[in-house]
Amino acid sequence: MTARAILIGAPRSGSGKTSVTIGLLRALARRGVRVRGAKSGPDYIDPGFHEAATGLPGVNLDSWAMAPSLLNALAKDASADAEVIVAESAMGLFDGIPADAGRTGSGADLARLYGIPSLLVLDVSGQSTTAAAVAKGFATYDPAVRIAGVVLNRLGSERHRRLCAEAVEALGLPVVGAIQRDPDITMPERHLGLVQASEHTGLHAFIDKMADMVEKSIDLDAVMRLAEPLAPQAGSFAAALPPPGQRIALAEDTAFTFVYPHVASRWRAAGAEIMPFSPLADEAPPADCDTCWLPGGYPELHAGRLAAAENFRDGMAAFAREKPVHGECGGFMVLGEALEDADGTTHRMLGLLGHSTSFARRKMNLGYRQAHLLADCPLGPAGTRVRGHEFHYARITEPGNDAPLADMADGEGRPLGPAGARRGHVSGTFFHAIARDEVE
């Protein structure tokens, strides 16, 4: 099976890309189409919604963080198991970072690399024929990125639809969808973006509502006709993160939710077993595992329960005496001495590393990261270079005395200095690893 693909893009975040993407995925699945979602860039929330909408795992396709061979391998793997790939751009379609051609992290990189046609979602609230000027800019900005059709979003009336659609179609761009303004289909958000699929109350009813909206407002047959075959070049998984152990104890509950789908799938493909446990249920990591991984999530929303989970605390301490433990972002916060929540209350954490963090004294940290490991850890041996992403509002209030885990640089290579911490078998950083850096 070789899939066809279409890329959902927009001028900016908040235009309605995710709602349109999720609705399209579920609407096509209702037709019996084997459809799969993909997400450009480092977003970790949307793939969960994609999986919920289709029953097939989502995948990140990140042109900056993933070596071209790994990007090709992941795209080929996804397309071999689907009839249609609906890929969702992060932020605006052309938004990325200054980098080598094709390595900016933008959705446009995928459109160019794989010849994927783009469906442009325009939020036309507060405008009418000006929508055509925006559409023309997208259609002419880069000849290698083909705008195949337009979906008009947040329309106020039939007259509004007619004015926008006639102006856009006069450019030769087909309008394949027109969605009325409806506050009931707004995606719920919080400080790191959307509320995750696993936490959404009435998730499938909500997705069905989006699919109903798409079936009513978008010409699905036209969208299917716009999709083009996705035929990546041969790739390799050599730059994928290797499993940190044969049996991996993985913290998994509403405090620990963030694992990239491609990371976990490659661990399993390499023969590793993932053994989930719930710190919020006061569970310890299974003693027969040989590595423990605390992923990111929202520990700041559950700090009191984590502080009271004595079995979790004792089990982590026992595990860390003999075997590797690694924490990313929220997991890194929990490995420290203390966490101050949004209300200013300080809670005792595991104390396996010496730092303390605060969510009350916020500072946003956002961007791609390049890490040069200074010591062996579950991310790889000393000297390994890893690409990933950082996005959090918490800050370190007490640095502790542990050795740093990595020298860090931003996505453009500007040094950020030593980062993370390591002590004995325990390591952690605010940085989410995506793939090993492999020069090709």
Strands 118-123 and 59-61, how do they pair?
Answer: unpaired
Separation of alpha carbons 429 and 320, rounded Å: 16
Q: Which of 289, 292, 329, 377 is catalytic?
A: 329
Q: At what angle do helices 46-54 and 17-30 cross, to 10 degrees?
A: 20
Q: Could you tell me which of 191, 196, 195 has the C-alpha nearest to residue 364?
A: 191
Kind and range of the H or E run holding 415: strand 415-419
Q: Contact, 352 vs 335, CB < 8 A?
A: yes
Kind and range of the H or E run holding 28: helix 17-30
133 contacts: CB under 8 Å, gap ≥ 6:
none
Tokens 């918490």 — which residue?
394
Q: Contact, 149 vs 223, CB < 8 A?
A: yes
Q: Could you tell me which of 401, 408, 395, 398 has the C-alpha nearest to residue 423?
A: 401
Other C-beta atoms within 10 Å of 278: how many?
15
Q: CA-based Rg of the chain, rounded to a whole angstrom?
A: 22
Active site (annotated) includes residue 164: no
DSSP states of 174-212: -EEEEEE--GGGPPPEETTEEPPGGG-TTHHHHHHHHHH
* Per-residue CA distances from 352 to 314, 324, 426 (Å): 11, 12, 7
Which residues on neighbouring strands pair with residue 39, listed in sequence order? 60, 88
Give the CB-side neighbour count of residue 128, counting CA atoms within 13 A: 9
Separation of alpha carbons 259 and 293, rounded Å: 10
- φ, ψ for residue 214, nearest 5 deg: -65, -45
Catalytic residues: 329
